[in-house]
Amino acid sequence: MLEQILNLPKVELHSHLEGTIKPHLVHQIAERNSVTLNESLFNNEGGYAWSNFASFLDAYDGASSCLKNKKDYRDIMYEYLKDCSYENVIYLETFISPDHAAECGISYDDMISGCVEGIDDAENDFGIIGRIIVTCVRHLGPKQGIDVAQQMVDNPHPYVVGFGMGGDELAFTLKDFAPAFNIASNANYPCTVHAGEICGPESVWDAINHLPISRIGHGVKSIEDAELLNALVKRNIHLEISPGSNLALSLYPNWSSHPLKLIMSKGVSISLNSDDPPFFNTSVGLEYQNSAKHFDFGIEELKSISLMAMKASFADPDTKSRLLDKISQF
C-alpha cells in the first residue's frame, strides 16, 4: 500500500512558496545574500521555532527574509517542485506573496520571472507542472490587497492562474477584501481564500457570501454547521484541506478528531495539501500516507481525492483534462 500511495499521481492546490523553504536552503540563500538570520528562527534541532499561530506567522516572515533576488525565487520554486515530483505530485499550485517580495526589495516582475524559471526548469527535469496563485496578506489590510490584485491583473503571465489570501484570520473582515477579490475575478482570475481555519463556520459563510471564490483554504470548521456543508456542496465550493498543518497548529488534538473524513462523506469536494511543509514536518506524500493510515482510506479513496483536486484546480482546460486522464488511468 505504501508503494501504491507513493506511485499515485497527486495534485496539490495549497502551499505557500515562502513556507516551503527548508531550513538548510534558508541558511544557504541567507549566506550568499549576506543576510543575518535571527537565531530565534530555529530550534535546537535546526527546525523552525514557533509555538502558536502568531509565532508561526512570524517565523514564516523570518524565513522569507533570506530572499533578495530573482534567482532566490527560482531556486525555492525549483527545490519545492523537485521534492514534490519525488512523491509523484504531477501538478501543483503554490501561493506567492508579492508583499513578502517587496519587503525583501524584490519587484513583482523579478518575483514572477524567477518563479517561472524554476517552474520551467522543474518541468524539464522532472515532468511536474507548477502554477502560481498570487496572494495578498490579510493582516496587511484591504488597501494592500487591492494593490496586489491590481499588480497581478496589470502584469499577466500564463503561469499565474489565480488569486488568493492568507495571513491572520482575525484581522479585518472578509467583506473588507471584496474590492481586491473583485479586481481579480472581473479579470477572470479564479479565487481562493483562507477561512474556517482559526475562525469558525461563520468565517466560511462570510467567504462564500461576500467574495467571488470557488475554493477555500482549510475551511475545516465548516464541519460545525450542517447547513454550511450543504451550501458548499450546492455551490460546488472546494476545500483545500491540510490535516498535518491543522494538527501542528493544534486546531485538533489528533488525527482521529480531524473532520476531513466526515466532510468528505457529506459530498464536499476536498484536496490534501501540505500548506507550509517544513514548518509542520509534512509533505504532500505524507498527507496521503497519513490519511490512509488514520482515516482508513484505500487507494481508490485517495485516487478520488487526487481527481477532486485536479477538477478544482485553476489549470487551463487542456492541462486539466490531460492530467485528469493520467490520474484516472492509475
**221 contact, one of Zn ion, ligand ADE, none, CB 5-8 Å limit per kind:** none
The site string for ligand ADE over 226-265 (x = CB under 6 A, - otherwise) reads -------------------x--------------------
Alpha-helical regions (H) of the chain? 2-7, 23-32, 53-64, 70-86, 98-103, 108-126, 142-154, 178-186, 201-210, 226-234, 243-248, 260-265, 284-295, 299-312, 317-328
Name the minimum Å distance from CB 85 to Zn ion. Answer: 21
**19 contact, one of Zn ion, ligand ADE, none, CB 5-8 Å limit per kind:** ligand ADE
89-96 and 129-137 strand pairing: parallel
- Give 138 or 303: the residue with its C-beta nearer to ligand ADE: 138
Sheet containing 191-195: give its strands across: 10-12, 89-96, 129-137, 160-166, 191-195, 215-218, 238-241, 270-272
12 makes contact with ligand ADE (CB under 6 A)? no
Run of H or E residues at 129: strand 129-137
Query: In this chain, which of 72, 206, 275, 287 binds Zn ion, going by CB under 5 A?
Result: 275
Please give the residue whose beta carbon sits closest to ligand ADE in the complex: 166
What distance in Å separates the CA atoms of residue 160 and residue 186, rounded to the nearest whole number? 15
- Give 32 or 139: the residue with its C-beta nearer to ligand ADE: 139
Concerning whether 45 is annotated as a catalytic residue, the answer is no
19 makes contact with ligand ADE (CB under 6 A)? yes
Query: In this chain, which of 197, 206, 240, 287 binds ligand ADE, going by CB under 6 A?
Result: 197
Contact predicate 161/141, CB 8 Å: no
129-137 and 238-241 strand pairing: unpaired
Name the minimum Å distance from CB 200 to ligand ADE. Answer: 15
What distance in Å separates the CA atoms of residue 309 and residue 314, rounded to the nearest whole number? 10
The site string for Zn ion over 200-229 (x = CB under 5 A, - otherwise) reads -----------------x------------
Residues from 274 through 303 that contact ligand ADE (CB under 6 A)? 275-276
For 102, other C-beta atoms within 10 Å of its C-beta total: 16
Among 18, 197, 240, 287, the active-site one is 197
Residues from 47 through 106 that contact ligand ADE (CB under 6 A)? 60
Total residues contacting Zn ion (rule CB under 5 A)? 2
Name the minimum Å distance from CB 317 to Zn ion. Answer: 26
**278 contact, one of Zn ion, ligand ADE, none, CB 5-8 Å limit per kind:** none
Contact predicate 85/123, CB 8 Å: no
240 makes contact with Zn ion (CB under 5 A)? no
Of the candidates 329, 327, 328, the residue with the CA atom closest to the CA atom of residue 88: 327
Angle at the Cα of 244 from the Cα atoms of 239 and 250, rounded to 5 degrees: 100
What is the DSSP code (8-state) at residue 42?
A: B
Query: In this chain, which of 70, 74, 100, 194 binds ligand ADE, going by CB under 6 A?
Result: 194
Q: What is the DSSP string of 4-24?
A: HHHHS-EEE--BBGGGS--HH
Name the minimum Å distance from CB 288 to ligand ADE. Answer: 19
Name the minimum Å distance from CB 323 to ligand ADE. Answer: 25
Total residues contacting ligand ADE (rule CB under 6 A)? 10
167 makes contact with ligand ADE (CB under 6 A)? yes
**What positions carry a catalytic annotation?**
197
Could you list the residues that contact Zn ion (CB under 5 A)? 217, 275
Could you list the residues that contact ligand ADE (CB under 6 A)? 16, 19, 60, 166-167, 194, 197, 245, 275-276
